[in-house]
Chain A
Amino acid sequence: MMKIVIIGNGMVGFKFCEKLVAKAPKDSFEITVFGEEIRPAYDRVHLSEFFSGKTADDLTLAPADWYAANDIQLYLGDPVKEIDREQKKVYSIRGLSVSYDILVLATGSSAFVPPIPGVEKNGVFIYRTIEDLEMMRDWAKKTKKGAVIGGGLLGLEAAKAMIDLGITDTHVIEFAPRLMPRQIDEAGSVILKNKLESLGLKILTNTNTTAIQGEDSIKSMLFADQSSIDVDMLVISAGIKPRDELAKQAGLETGSRGGIVVNEQMQTNDKSIFAIGECALYKGMIYGLVAPGYEMAEVVADHLVGGQKTFHGFDMSTKLKLIGVDVASFGDPFVAAGDGRTVVLEDTMKGIYKRINISTDGKYLLGGILIGDADAYNMLLQTAKNKVILPPNPEDMILGARGGESSGGDSVSALPDDAIICSCESVTKENICKSVTENNCESVDEIKKCTKAGTGCGGCVPMVKDLMLHTMAANGKYVRNVICEHFHYSRQELFDLVKINQLKSYDEVLDTFGKNDGCEICKPVVSSILASLWNELILDKGNAAAQDSNDRFLANIQKGGTYSVVPRIPGGEITPDKLIVIGQVAKEYHLYTKITGGQRIDLFGAHLSDLPAIWKKLIEAGFESGHAYGKALRTVKSCVGSTWCRFGLHDSVSFAIQIEERYRGLRAPHKIKSGVSGCIRECAEARSKDFGIIATEKGWNLYVCGNGGSKPQHALLFATDLDSETCIRYIDRFLMFYIKTADPLMRTAPWLNKMEGGITYLQNVIINDSLGIVAELEREMQLLVDSYKCEWKEVVDNPELQKKFSHFVNAPEEKDPSVKFEAMREQKKVADWK
């Protein structure tokens, strides 16, 4: 078996493993990977999302057991210290020695740190690994004034991260006369600078740092013109330095400014050693982006299974992920006058700059720059890359068509089949269209799974979606997200229609907006909309029969046909007396009792006809409905908090109870769960909830859109250090916005995942009121809060309603004789079904 050793488990090293195991028959290679970092390869491109709530796990490309499952021996936290080319062996720091037939260097690069006196001081960071970010996060707590050296792609991303860390007073220091000198021109740079300044950043161009001053920690920076600024945290992002030290030491050929020299097979001057990714120097060039790195991985993997692929350089087009400012540059952004003509659109008021370069014959797009509005990026990039013949008025591409017709769909369809849409994963237009026509993918998620398009940097996702919709429409597939055959509306549309027309019953809604007789899909949806809008008793107005069975009988139907009883126990706090009542009721009605996963007690096995009597007793003892049967607020889990816990910062129980009581009975597209933890140890697991609250020194951090269940997802940090009142105000808005816009049976996590613009968009709507709706959201929520009534209390007080709780209409006192129980551990269980 051929032995392959890979040094470096970064993005490209991982991709190489993935490609190799996909191509090679099992057992054809024995693969060993050495990684210097302590965790398996993660998504460095989206590293900055670490500051907006993503965890190291979220960023991981594949967990350690993926390697195990593919028979790859992975050594982490164990860098290779020496390559012995004679013996064909590598030696690791921890003392392992492994021999190879083929060695692949994927050692990436490190941040280039210019030799400025004082760079070693505390508070000076680089921006490359999760550890770097962890250290930055800790340091940022005591920081007021920040700076970033480097006004390039990465430097600006680091500057944005500083703002995210709360250091709003941040300088960006660039040596060159303008920002992003390698990607954009002078005019574009001016616009970009204005935009960034409006975000609060201070930009110093033409500035050369000569010293970093302070005792042990950085206090200020001194510049060549003798000016200085006070700084207590600095990130250096002045470029990258390929990690070629190992190669150099082994006598492989390296470039004078770093990088391991490779040919078009990615081979070094030693035929059995390859280099890929950011450490490889091809024709004098280091490719500091993932897509070319993945292409290099492809070339070597292909070579090892006998293929002929070669590397021929790569397009370095980029789109900056800075939030608030779109910046993109593609193809050749700077075409000189003689080599083509240039069309420029500049709007200093709006902060928009667009430039396209067109070949002298006017036929082809050569490249361009987009600032302030980069929506056209994907389309332009594809047009340039695929040498699509330009229309007679190419300026329309950046000006937008004036009067004439040109739809997004048309432009995607103009691309040739072999146009590469996702360059990270080399997925063509044809691959994507086929996934729709042949594999029946009908969502971007399905296409991602099927083709891997959009799973890298994510930049092509809007285009993938366009292509999907276009292909679906071309194949006569219905694209609209309608509820069912009876309502040709999405839930959100129907919600608004019901509201505007003040409809109060299922039948009215069906008569006005639906057709035929309805079904088990639209009935619960409409019932939930009615409850979310008016909060009237769900069994009123003839609506009972339009409820899901659980809502109709205000209890969860169990195997066997009996029901469960779940009284609300807000925050999980319960008095001994109430516990005794639960015990008594359970004994009297022979109910199985269990502590649930939601910090309360479930009583199982109640006959339908016993429910009103059981609830009468519970309500007399001060309980109320727990809405375990509804798509409604379930529990607000809490930890014990500062009243007892030695680490507690605030009283999490009181806050959990307050919140649970505020939102009890609230009907939504799906159930909603919450949690409140008294400190960062997070014993209430608040981050697995639809909204979770964690105490901080200064107040509460609010997290949103988490989920347990089968697709667990941590809630993302939404707002920090809130006082209780603001926290509740944000939750009011958040929940109401969810209720109004989510699809049926969609929890908050998938709702957010589907939302364009994601968490930032949501923050804008809820916190910055970008849609101008928060006052209305608050009003609507307050109406629901004020009109809350315990459903079970209404039934217990109303003999007419109670009548509905019998098994036989013509023998109301008889129970269902088919219900059978068996004994188990001193309680009972339902007899098994077939």
Chain B
Amino acid sequence: MITTETEGKLSWFIACKTEDVPVNGGVCVKYEDRQIALFHFARRGAWYATQNECPHRNQMALSRGMIGSLDTEPKVACPFHKKTFSLETGECLNGDDYQIKTYPVKVMNGLVYIGVDGE
């Protein structure tokens, strides 16, 4: 069940209900052929979305990772080898040359929307 709404270049789709996502944890959302990791960073009242694939060994796993912070930067750690990525910028925080894609998220009426570009 995927609903889309267009706003500027982004199209927003409803990913799930807020309560489907564990508090301070993540889930994986299917959007067409894409897998998107969605996180509810409840400690900051924030929501983040990134690609689900970890670029280290191309594993579809970031949604199952633990979130947290490095200094003030919110991050997720891949469950496989614990590489960590900024949830804000997608930059790899272990000094490796990886970059993951991030997506905007908004929450309205108990629903979580993720904004995807046209690619």
Q: Give the residue of A519, A544, A549 whose beta carbon is less than 8 angstroms from that of B79.
A: A549
Q: A517-B74, A548-B79, A834-B57 are in contact. Are A808 and B29 (CB under 8 A)?
A: yes
Residues of chain B from 59 to 111 with CB closer than 8 A to chain A in the complex: 59-61, 64-72, 74-75, 77, 79-80, 82, 84
Whether B57 pairs with A517 at a CB distance below 8 angstroms is no
A833 at the interface (CB under 8 A from B): yes
- B58 proximity list for chain A (CB < 8 A): 833-834
Q: Give the residue of A486, A546, A557 whose beta carbon is less than 8 angstroms from that of B61.
A: A557
Residue of B nearest to A804 (CB): B22
A833 to B59, CA, bound (A): 8
Whether A545 pairs with B59 at a CB distance below 8 angstroms is no
A819 to B53, CA, bound (A): 12
A542 at the interface (CB under 8 A from B): yes
A522 to B20, CA, bound (A): 25
Residues of chain B from 1 to 35 with CB closer than 8 A to chain A in the complex: 1-2, 15-16, 20-30, 35
Whether A546 pairs with B66 at a CB distance below 8 angstroms is yes
Whether A807 pairs with B28 at a CB distance below 8 angstroms is yes
B41 at the interface (CB under 8 A from A): yes
Name the distance in Å between B13's Cβ and chain A's nearest Cβ.
Answer: 9
A798 at the interface (CB under 8 A from B): no
Whether A816 pairs with B22 at a CB distance below 8 angstroms is no
- A810 proximity list for chain B (CB < 8 A): 1-2, 15-16, 29-30
Whether A523 pairs with B29 at a CB distance below 8 angstroms is no
With a 10 A CB-CB cut-off, give which of B25, B58, B68, B72 has the most chain A CB atoms. B68
Whether B80 pairs with A557 at a CB distance below 8 angstroms is yes
Whether A517 pairs with B28 at a CB distance below 8 angstroms is no
Whether B64 pairs with A549 at a CB distance below 8 angstroms is yes
Name the distance in Å between A546's Cβ and chain B's nearest Cβ.
Answer: 7
Q: Give the residue of A516, A546, A818, A833 whose beta carbon is less than 8 angstroms from that of B69.
A: A516
- B21 proximity list for chain A (CB < 8 A): 809
Whether B79 pairs with A557 at a CB distance below 8 angstroms is yes
- A557 proximity list for chain B (CB < 8 A): 61, 64, 79-80
Q: Give the residue of B27, B44, B61, B82 whose beta carbon is less than 8 angstroms from that of A520.
A: B82
Whether B57 pairs with A833 at a CB distance below 8 angstroms is yes
Whether B28 pairs with A520 at a CB distance below 8 angstroms is no
Q: Give the residue of A520, A522, A549, A833 whose beta carbon is less than 8 angstroms from that of B84.
A: A520
A559 to B82, CA, bound (A): 14
- A518 proximity list for chain B (CB < 8 A): 68-69
- B72 proximity list for chain A (CB < 8 A): 516
Q: A549-B66, A557-B79, A561-B60 are in contact. Are A507 and B15 (CB under 8 A)?
A: no
Residues of chain A from 786 to 834 with CB closer than 8 A to chain B in the complex: 804, 807-811, 814, 816, 818-819, 833-834
A517 to B25, CA, bound (A): 12
Residues of chain A from 536 to 587 with CB closer than 8 A to chain B in the complex: 542, 544-550, 552-553, 557, 559-561
- A553 proximity list for chain B (CB < 8 A): 64
With a 10 A CB-CB cut-off, give which of B16, B27, B41, B75 has the most chain A CB atoms. B27
Name the distance in Å between A468's Cβ and chain B's nearest Cβ.
Answer: 28
A561 to B78, CA, bound (A): 11
- B74 proximity list for chain A (CB < 8 A): 517
Q: A557-B64, A560-B59 are in contact. Are A519 and B24 (CB under 8 A)?
A: no
Whether B77 pairs with A520 at a CB distance below 8 angstroms is yes
A141 to B39, CA, bound (A): 66
A122 to B31, CA, bound (A): 85
Name the distance in Å between B11's Cβ and chain A's nearest Cβ.
Answer: 16
A783 to B72, CA, bound (A): 39
* B residues lining the A interface (CB < 8 Å): 1-2, 15-16, 20-30, 35, 38, 41, 43-44, 53, 57-61, 64-72, 74-75, 77, 79-80, 82, 84
* A residues lining the B interface (CB < 8 Å): 485-486, 507, 516-520, 522-524, 542, 544-550, 552-553, 557, 559-561, 804, 807-811, 814, 816, 818-819, 833-834
20 A–B contacts from the bound complex (CB under 8 Å): A516-B68, A517-B41, A517-B68, A519-B70, A520-B65, A520-B66, A522-B68, A545-B66, A549-B61, A552-B64, A557-B64, A810-B1, A810-B29, A810-B30, A811-B30, A816-B35, A819-B60, A833-B57, A833-B59, A834-B58
Known: A545-B26, A546-B66. 19 other contacts (CB 8 A): A516-B72, A517-B41, A517-B68, A519-B70, A520-B65, A545-B22, A545-B23, A545-B67, A548-B66, A553-B64, A557-B64, A557-B80, A559-B57, A807-B28, A808-B28, A809-B16, A810-B2, A816-B60, A818-B60
